Amino acid sequence: MKAAGAGLAAALCAAALISCGPLDEFAGTKVDTVGEVPFENRLAIPPLADSKLDSDGRRVFTLAAEPGEREFLPGRTTDTWGFNGSYLGPTLRAERGERVLVDFRNGVDEATTVHWHGMHLPAEADGGPHQHVEPGEHWTPSWEIDQPAATLWYHPHPHGDTEEHVYRGLAGMFILDDDEEAGLDLPRRYGVDDIPVIVQDKRFADDGSLVEDDREELGILGDTLLVNGTYGPYLDVSSERLRLRLLNGSTARTYDFGFSDQRDFALIATDGGLLERPDRRSRIQLSPGERAEIVVTMKPRERVVLRSYPPDLEPGSDSSRRDGGEDSFDVLQLRSAAELESSPAVPAELVDIPELDPADAAQTREFELRSRRINDEEMDMERIDTVVSVDTTEVWEVENGHGQPHTFHVHDVQFQVLDVDGEDPPPELSGWKDTIPLPPGVRVRLIMRFEDYADPDSPYMYHCHLLRHEDEGMMAQFVVVESGEVPGEAIASGANRVDRMPVARLFRREPDS
């Protein structure tokens, strides 16, 4: 595969489609596509998903995972998976207080799941590895939207296969709205001045197929970016201020987004919703699964490129080349019209975020991430690692005790960051979060509230969101129970699982040579 990759790199280099620097396909080699991406394709905007109200007043969406094919690169056809189409899926959108139901059909030939990343919902609707959907089968989770306006997303979560299923194209955005956000003067015309930006790195073989067997420790690190499934994208801008909903939908790569002319922008929201006030800055770093909403101001008749600069993966160390720590990418070109519609200034105050108080914590727990384990245990579908009492607040102290970068994602709740290595969190970690980067040696203290949805038989997950690490066992389970209740027999017996993932599948990749 590496040889095939070399051939493609040479061919694209000759056609000036990618960097003609060092051979990018070799592990640990720096990737730099700055100035080399031809911005010739209009950025695809995922369509807003159709929905209808059922007789119970629930908003019903229909999603089907399907195989397909795409010509991402000129003249090369790539086999893909997508929701309601060949690659990625429609943007789901719902308002706080609405009840939603998703009729999901698995039209691919492997069992999969759909997880609603960042969503507060009952565990049985969460779409984790216990909610397997066999090929041809339907799954119809339903829940009430009960959290602030935010940019969430959805993707498969079958234990052992999450990386592959996401990499092939199964992912989409899920935007939540509420009255508070609607009352602010912010750009919100979807596809006009409010733009989903789903960034994913890929590695293409000569024949156009996606290379899935890359052996980097972090997972697959691609040398080619797609944004909303578009290679070499540009966006025509018609108004003075543009809101970009950045989603790192990659399986392993961290980006440090900024603009080619170093202009600053307003960071207005992170994973779980709006910040208390905008933070003016020129960079925002996102690890896999994290989101950020930014508002950038444009002048007429200009072209500026959204880039990813080398991310800081191991502060104080320069040994992160193998993890993509030296890589740079041109991501998306913004082209503004000769005349721009004027937009109001970004409000100085956004929302109030009620501060969770560690003095209210019923429990303080410690988690150490090391190798592919959490607290020295590999993920076991039949073991509940953590039992949380409903209607309590907890502090989770999470440490990366390993020499590699990891991240930490908690299902069901949005958390607040109390501190990072004892220091106050920076602005990008000051709002509601569900995923946080964990560089080697770093310890974070998170605080979260488990309001409702007690269910002793259905676990939620917490895990590293580098998808290969998660697949290889860096994941664990918690249940939310009524006080004093014990986790159900159903989990220990495996009875609430439709199908058991064959163990061989987890370890079928070739060992390191």
What is the contact mask toward Cu ion in residues 226 to 265, using x (rule: CB under 5 A)?
----------------------------------------
Question: Long-range contact list for 4-7, CB < 8 A, 24+ apart?
Answer: 4/205, 4/206, 4/207, 4/211, 5/203, 5/204, 5/205, 5/206, 5/211, 5/223, 7/206
CA distance 67 to 254: 27
CB of 466 to Cu ion, least distance (A): 4
Place of tokens 């507060």: 120
CB of 464 to Cu ion, least distance (A): 3
User: Quick one: 37 or 464, whose CB is closer to Cu ion?
Assistant: 464
Residue 155 is a binding residue for Cu ion (CB under 5 A)? no
Q: Which residues of 115-136 are buried (b: 16+ CB within 10 A; e: fewer)?
A: bbbbbbbbbbbbbbbbbbbeee
Residue type at 443 in one-letter notation: R
Residue 111 is a binding residue for Cu ion (CB under 5 A)? no
- Which residues inside 307-366 make contact with Cu ion, applying CB under 5 A? none
CA distance 88 to 171: 5
Helix, strand, coil proportions of the chain in percent (round to 5)? 10, 40, 50
User: Quick one: 22 or 403, whose CB is closer to Cu ion?
Assistant: 403
User: Quick one: 445 or 463, whose CB is closer to Cu ion?
Assistant: 463
- Segment lying near Cu ion (by CB under 5 A), choices 27-35, 203-211, 350-358, 467-475: 467-475
CB of 172 to Cu ion, least distance (A): 23
CA distance 353 to 451: 16
User: Quick one: 133 or 220, whose CB is closer to Cu ion?
Assistant: 220
CB of 51 to Cu ion, least distance (A): 35
CA distance 32 to 18: 9
Residue 469 is a binding residue for Cu ion (CB under 5 A)? yes
CB of 472 to Cu ion, least distance (A): 9
User: Quick one: 162 or 430, whose CB is closer to Cu ion?
Assistant: 162
CA distance 152 to 460: 17
Torsion angle, CA of 390/396/402/403, rounded to 10 degrees? Answer: 120
User: Quick one: 114 or 438, whose CB is closer to Cu ion?
Assistant: 438
Exactly one of 464, 475, 479, 491 binds Cu ion (CB under 5 A); that residue is: 464
CB of 462 to Cu ion, least distance (A): 12
CB of 446 to Cu ion, least distance (A): 17
Structural tokens at position 89: 């899926």
* Dihedral pair phi/psi, residue 449, rounded to 5°: -120, 130
- Segment lying near Cu ion (by CB under 5 A), choices 30-38, 242-250, 466-474, 478-486: 466-474
Structural tokens at position 98: 């609405």
Structural tokens at position 3: 């040889």
User: Quick one: 358 or 401, whose CB is closer to Cu ion?
Assistant: 401
CA distance 426 to 442: 14
CB of 470 to Cu ion, least distance (A): 7
What is the CB neighbour count within 10 angstroms for residue 186? 24
Report which of 506, 512, 440, 442 is spatially closest to residue 475, judged by C-alpha positions.
Answer: 506
Which secondary structure element, helix H or strand E, spans residue 467, and what is its range?
A: helix 467-471
Residue 476 is a binding residue for Cu ion (CB under 5 A)? no
- Segment lying near Cu ion (by CB under 5 A), choices 48-56, 163-171, 187-195, 399-407: 399-407
CB of 218 to Cu ion, least distance (A): 7
- Which residues inside 26-55 make contact with Cu ion, applying CB under 5 A? none
CB of 171 to Cu ion, least distance (A): 19
Torsion angle, CA of 68/72/77/81, rounded to 10 degrees? Answer: -20
Is the CB of residue 37 less than 8 Å from the CB of residue 20? no
CA distance 337 to 433: 35
Residue 195 is a binding residue for Cu ion (CB under 5 A)? no
- Segment lying near Cu ion (by CB under 5 A), choices 147-155, 308-316, 412-420, 461-469: 461-469
User: Quick one: 406 or 433, whose CB is closer to Cu ion?
Assistant: 406
Exactly one of 203, 243, 406, 411 binds Cu ion (CB under 5 A); that residue is: 406
Report which of 114, 146, 116, 139 is spatially closest to residue 129, judged by C-alpha positions.
Answer: 114
CB of 311 to Cu ion, least distance (A): 15
CA distance 422 to 408: 18
User: Quick one: 351 or 466, whose CB is closer to Cu ion?
Assistant: 466
CB of 162 to Cu ion, least distance (A): 12
Q: By three-state DSSP, how is residue 249 classified?
A: coil
User: Quick one: 283 or 469, whose CB is closer to Cu ion?
Assistant: 469
Distances (CA, A) of 392 to 362, 387, 447, 463, 484: 6, 12, 11, 21, 13
- Segment lying near Cu ion (by CB under 5 A), choices 38-46, 147-155, 463-471, 499-507: 463-471
CA distance 151 to 293: 8
User: Quick one: 173 or 466, whose CB is closer to Cu ion?
Assistant: 466
Exactly one of 198, 418, 466, 476 binds Cu ion (CB under 5 A); that residue is: 466
Total of residues contacting Cu ion (CB under 5 A): 4
CB of 184 to Cu ion, least distance (A): 36
User: Quick one: 130 or 406, whose CB is closer to Cu ion?
Assistant: 406
User: Quick one: 31 or 474, whose CB is closer to Cu ion?
Assistant: 474
Alpha helices in 350-448 (DSSP H): none
Residues near Cu ion, by CB under 5 A: 406, 464, 466, 469
